[in-house]
Amino acid sequence: MLLDAASLYFRAFYGVPTSVTAPDGRPINAVRGFLDMTARLLSAHRPDRLVACWDDDWRPAFRVDALPSYKAHRVAPEGGEEVPDELSPQVPVLIEVLAAAGIDRVGAPGYEADDVIGTLATRARGPVDIVTGDRDLFQLVDDARGIRVLYTARGIADIESVDEAAVAAKYGIPGRAYAEFAVLRGDPSDGLPGVAGVGAKTAAALINEFGDLAGIRAAVARTAVPKPPLTAAVLKKMRAAADYLDAAPVVVAVACTIDLPPIDGILPARPADADALARFAEAHGLGSSVRRLGAALGWPADALD
């Protein structure tokens, strides 16, 4: 099980009220929510391994160089990602708690969590569950290898299991064609404009007719007499978007071969540092969440003693 950590702690922050605080009054809702979500996922799906995948770089240079609009609307005035003031101080706490619990947390300089997830999923020798609220990761689904997305759009209590059939049913495209679909349609949440005037229906028709982006662009280049789905209007739009279509695939494609050390992700039978975890639990009011996590991991009752 690969957790898209930022996706989950943002979801926890907005899903759990900020009135959930540490003993000193500071909000601790994101950490509490993240730990409780992880416990529920462990109990419901019983993975053999678990990795919290981290954004070491939420807006990598190679993606921005290709498409400057990438996540530009989320850049804070002082630089860096715009994060709610009450969330920022909670992220270091979560990092400390995960380390003390013994849960592997993995990032890579210059890459997003998506790329860590893509690489670990590609390496995996067995089935993989990817837990995220980010549709970009739909491109990784692979029925033959047992890779699916547990999509948290409706919250952790109502997860949508996304495999190739689900992608096909939702978007009307082959199950592993989501990246091409996203390039064409765009994604305003990531600053990805898409091809102006080409919506989901037209994008799906193009993919189904020509297979992939390379096939679509080859057809655009050779078509002299318009016919659906390459009508005169669509041909004009696709040709006008040539520069965007050169750049966007680099932005959308999840990197699946980045340099990562071996990661075992073995579930900890006991906390890695029980004393530290007990201190964090007391200092931040996380006792009940830590106990739920421990129960889901099968820790003995005296794990924190």
Residue 153's pLDDT is 81
* Domain co-membership, 261 together with 244: no
Per-residue model confidence (pLDDT) at position 295: 96
Supply 42's token pair. Answer: 């462990």
> Does any domain span residue 304?
no
Q: Is residue 303 part of a domain?
A: no
Q: Is the pTM of this model over 0.85?
A: yes
Same domain for 86 and 199:
no
CATH number, domain of 241, equals: 1.10.150.20
pLDDT computed for residue 14 by the predictor: 93
What type of residue is 254? V
What does pLDDT average to in each consecutive run of 10 residues of the chain (305 residues)? 97 94 96 97 96 97 96 90 94 98 98 98 96 96 97 82 96 94 94 95 97 96 94 96 96 96 94 96 96 96 85
- Domain encompassing residue 219: 178-252
How far is CA 70 from each of CA 21, 43, 105, 232, rounded to the nearest angstrom?
34, 36, 25, 29
Residues 288 and 143 in one domain: yes
The pLDDT value given to residue 38: 97
Q: Could you tell me if 100 and 57 lie in one domain?
A: yes
> For position 182, what pLDDT does the model report?
96
**Are 284 and 28 a contacting pair, CB within 8 Å?**
yes
The tally of domains found in the chain comes to 2
User: How far, in Å, are 38, 105, 123, 143, 293 from residue 46 at the CA level?
Assistant: 11, 19, 20, 19, 13
Q: What is the pLDDT of residue 119?
A: 98
Q: What is the CATH number of the domain that holds 146?
A: 3.40.50.1010
Residue 35 within a domain:
yes
Integer Cα distance of 162 and 64 in angstroms: 29
* Residues 260, 265, 271, 277, CA torsion sign: positive
Same domain? For 269 and 234 the reply is no
Nearest CA to 53 out of 125, 12, 1, 127 is that of: 1
